[in-house]
Every structure is written in structure tokens, then in C-alpha cells.
Amino acid sequence: MKKRSLDVLLLAVFLLLMPGCGTAGGQAEPTAAAAAEELSGESVPEETAAAVPPSGEPAEASFFRSEPAASQTPAPEPAASPTPPEETALTCSLWIRCDTILDHLDRLTEEKAGLVPESGVLLCLEAVPFDEGESVFDVLLRVTREQEIHLEFVGTPFYRSAYVEGIGNLYEFDCGELSGWSYKVNGAFPGCGCSLYELSGGDIIEWVYTCDLGKDVGGTNGWEDAA
């Protein structure tokens, strides 16, 4: 009895003193972006549903598939490759916007105020080249590194899933408890995670910061469709 209470005391002290590791790994699922995607998944329009790759056909150049990606990069070099050269020059547009924060500056965490640009646009790039089979997440990861924009994500390689926690040091929950990052392709929310959405040429990717579980960025959240 005595020993156990001492153990508990020590444990409590240790937990109290543990340095704050600001990870939110365990909370990855129930966040705004994921929830919005999950909920809208109930009423996915056909074209976005069709865009979800079948599980048997993984994205070859995906971030989580380093070996196939490596084997694919030298693939275009032999001229006998079946893909014609004009198809290798696939491009998409990439927007990263957080203009919804401008309407809710009162809710924004104090230290982050300087991070929101006045236009609300963190990045706007036309014609981002990408390889066949790359996902929305692969493009985001590559472009943010090239542009030296901060990006933090939780990756679960086993499920090939990636959850974007923060872009440009603007994190989920920074602007109210319903805030976080979500993405649209060609103006619609695909009902799947960004690392599973395989891009096709000419796609317009928009990363949008929501302060209201997706409602303020055009998401229906699944509920209004049902009503």
C-alpha cells in the first residue's frame, strides 16, 4: 500500500515535469479537416468518388512508397518508355489560403497574428509539375519544401495516410476549436485523405483553412445535404 502510493506520487511528479512535447499525434483523426472529409464522404459526388484510387493500385510516386518512387524516376530516361513525352509534363495549380482567419482574428492564438498575410493567401502557384501517380500530399510536401514554407503532418505509412496539422505555422485549433486545414480539388472536397487522392493533369488544388469545421470554406459537412 505504502509502496504503491509512493509509486503513484513519483509517477505524478514525473508526468508533471515532462517537457511539453507539442505533438498531437493521437488527436489526428477527430480534427476539423479529417472530420469534414469523412462526413462529406457520405455524399461524395460521383466524379470525386471515381477519383479515389482503388486500393490495389497505390500511388507509385507517393511519399510513403520511397522504393517505387526511386525506381520510377529513372523510368522516363529510356526513350522506349510507353508514356509519350507530353504526358510527363503534367501540371496542376496549388493554392494555400487562410483568408477565413481574417474574419475571426479575435479567435486566433495571440502569437500567430503575424503569420497571417493580409491577402489571406500563403501561396498561389500555377503550373506545378508533378509525376503521374503523385498525390495531393506529395505535391504539397514538395512545393512547401521548395518554397520554404513550414509544414507539419502526421504520417501513418501503414495506411499511407497523412494528416496535415499545420502549414506556415498555422495549426489546427489555432483559430478556435473547429479550425484546421482541409483541401479541395477543382472546387470540390474529395472524400478521402490528401495522400490517397491521385492527381490528374490540370487539377486545381486548394488548401483552405477552416474556422468552422469546413462550413466557411464551402464544405457541406454532409448534414445540409441530408436535410
Residue ranges that bind other proteins, judged by CB under 8 A: 2-3, 5-6, 9, 13, 16-23, 63, 111-112, 115, 141, 145, 148, 150-153, 155, 166, 169, 171
Residue 68 CB, shortest distance to other proteins, in Å, is: 17
C-alpha cell, 147: 518554397
Residue 20 CB, shortest distance to other proteins, in Å, is: 7
Residue 66 CB, shortest distance to other proteins, in Å, is: 11
Say how far apart CA 183 and CA 195 lie, in whole Å: 11
Between residues 19 and 30, which has the closer beta carbon with respect to other proteins?
19
Between residues 21 and 50, which has the closer beta carbon with respect to other proteins?
21
Which residue type does 109 have?
T
Distances (CA, A) of 198 to 139, 143, 190, 194, 204: 10, 16, 11, 9, 12
Say how far apart CA 79 and CA 77 lie, in whole Å: 6
Say how far apart CA 148 and CA 143 lie, in whole Å: 8
Residue 46 CB, shortest distance to other proteins, in Å, is: 33
Between residues 46 and 148, which has the closer beta carbon with respect to other proteins?
148
Between residues 23 and 73, which has the closer beta carbon with respect to other proteins?
23
For 123-136, letters b (16+ CB in 10 Å) and e give bebeebebbbbbbb
Residue 136 CB, shortest distance to other proteins, in Å, is: 15
Between residues 41 and 58, which has the closer beta carbon with respect to other proteins?
58
For residue 47, give the H/E element and its range.
Answer: helix 46-51
